[in-house]
Amino acid sequence: MKATYHKHILNFKRASGTSRGVLKTKETWYIVVEDGAKKGIGECGILRGLSFDDRPDYEERLRWTCANIAKGSDVLWEALKDFPSIQFGVEMAFLSLKSSDPFVLFPSKFTDHTDAIAINGLVWMGDEVFMKEQIEEKLAAGFDCIKMKIGAIDFEKELALLRFIRTHYDASKITLRVDANGGFAFAKAKKVLKQLATLDIHSIEQPIAVRNWEQMKELCAETPTPIALDEELIGITDVTKKRDLLQTVRPQYIILKPSFIGGFRGSKEWIDQVEALGIQWWITSALESNVGLNAIAQWTYKLQAEGPQGLGTGSLFTNNIQSPLEVRAGALHYNNQLDWNFNTDTLCL
């Protein structure tokens, strides 16, 4: 058995804004495991500036992983706890290696193209005109759940955009989610939560910065708008600490990004904890290429995750990996009449 790793720089079709700045490119890495004639492919989806494992020795750890690939998925997962995106890539690569089709990790009605996954339409930060343009595109495309990133422009203007949707569609027709990426101060967040409640907002992701458990606990206990923890989960690898966070803060939801929290195994640890506490969850990709998105989508379908999932980011890039994944009418489909085109010799480095 041998393994190699390969870098790919994904280029955004249009610069995409978050509360941390504007994204123009996205770095990702593929691990390819070979055992005789069989091949497995995994993606290590790192997001610089956000991923827990954004470290100077990242590539060195990839090199070590490939050199030690014969240790197997379970041993490597334990050894890579400080590198959750590599944990995910290794886990995915071994599942791919075992499969008769390297891109069908979890066979289901989804991969048979007889069922699809409901997803939210993502509206990126930008000026008022750009954000309204995106909202209208998502509504026209048939999405019944829209997620809007907030915190980039004046909040009153963002509220006006949300009101624009609500004047045409009530909560029974369109579900609205917002994502603050930790962008509000505690006092401001209290006001924001009340304002959002008047518009029947489904939830707000990470209203304040991470590691402020007592403040987040107070917000979650009093909020008229349900709160979802997102970035708060990143970097917590110990099961006991996961339980401590959830029991302390008691959020209404958590959001699972496998690339950020130790792959499927790390995500399942969170799911087991929140279900014991009656906390709900959904799954989101983290700007992976179609390789990682495909694996996350198949796993999500296998879990029968409830409600719209955050799995629609594959169309953002000009040089994504060609795949059977398609977004139609607010859902992600696996059109198995289409082919994959994964070739490490033609990746954009």
- Structural domains of the chain, with CATH: 2-102 (3.30.390.10), 117-344 (3.20.20.120)
Whether 98 sits among the annotated catalytic residues: the reply is no
Q: For residues 12 and 318, what is the distance between their CA atoms, to the nearest angstrom?
A: 6
177: left (phi over 0), alpha (psi -120 to 50) or beta: beta
Say if strands 331-334 and 117-118 run parallel, antiparallel, or are unpaired.
antiparallel
Nearest one of 323, 341, 347, 346 to 333, comparing CA atoms: 323
The one catalytic residue among 26, 147, 242, 257: 257
Greatest Cα pair distance, the chain, in angstroms, is 60
Whether 2 sits among the annotated catalytic residues: the reply is no
Q: How far is CA 263 from CA 80, 209, 227, 303, 320, in A?
A: 11, 23, 23, 14, 21
pLDDT tens, per residue, the chain with 349 residues: 999 999 999 998 877 655 556 778 899 999 999 999 999 999 998 988 778 899 999 999 999 999 999 999 999 999 999 999 999 999 999 999 999 999 999 999 999 999 999 999 988 777 788 888 888 899 899 999 999 888 767 889 889 989 988 988 899 999 999 999 898 999 999 999 999 999 999 999 999 999 999 999 999 999 999 999 999 999 999 999 999 999 999 999 999 999 999 999 999 999 999 999 999 999 999 999 999 999 999 999 999 999 999 998 778 899 999 999 999 999 999 999 999 999 877 675 4
Q: Determine the Cα angle at 310 with ends 304 and 315, to 5°.
A: 120
Full-model pTM:
0.94
Q: For residues 261 and 122, what is the distance between their CA atoms, to the nearest angstrom?
A: 21
R_g of the chain computed on alpha carbons: 20
Q: Determine the Cα angle at 121 with ends 118 and 126, to 5°.
A: 165
The first and second tokens of residue 335, run together, are 């059109």
The one catalytic residue among 26, 138, 149, 242: 149
